[in-house]
Amino acid sequence: MVDNRVVYGGGAADISCSIAVSKAADEIPSIEQYAMRSFAAALDAIPLALAENSGLSPIETLTAVKSRQVTEKNSRLGIDCSGRGDNGAWYQRCILLGTYVNCESRHEEAVRV
């Protein structure tokens, strides 16, 4: 499969998907909402690991980035692993950009479980 699209780094895509799945779970009145919330929490694993491996407080960092993504309506914001103070800087995206295919296959694998 050839696909030239890229996703923003720092776990930005995972955080954005987690937020979307959580919002969708709010609309589900049945027990299925718990599975959706668990999936949203699983999507947070990569950004949490990035924050922890960068010496940041994982929960505080993820919470701050999620809040910024929602308030600024900017799904390109990810974990600032380099500590330069810009969660969406171009240099960070160059280092942490992933291919769309890799991201898509990672999420497909997560759904199969």
Confidence tier at 99 by pLDDT (50, 70, 90): low
Task: Provide mean pLDDT across the span 4-32.
Answer: 88
Task: With both helix axes pointing from N to C terminus, report the angle between 12-26 and 32-43 in degrees, rounded to the nearest 10.
Answer: 170
Residue 7 has pLDDT above 50, yes or no: yes
Please give the average per-residue pLDDT across 15-29, as a whole number.
94
Contacts of 83 (CB under 8 A, 6+ apart): 54, 56
The pLDDT assigned to 88 comes to 58
Domains and CATH numbers, the chain: 6-112 (1.10.560.10)
Q: At what angle do helices 45-53 and 32-43 cross, to 10 degrees?
A: 30
CA nearest neighbour of 107 among 12, 17, 3, 22: 17
* pTM of the predicted protein model: 0.74
Q: Would you say residue 104 has pLDDT above 70?
A: no
What mean pLDDT value characterizes the chain? 80
Does residue 26 surpass a pLDDT of 60?
yes
The pair phi, psi for residue 5, each rounded to 5°, is: -70, 155
pLDDT, tens only, 48-92 = 998 998 889 999 999 999 999 999 999 888 888 877 666 654 444
Comparing CA positions, the residue from 107, 103, 9 lying closest to residue 65 is: 9
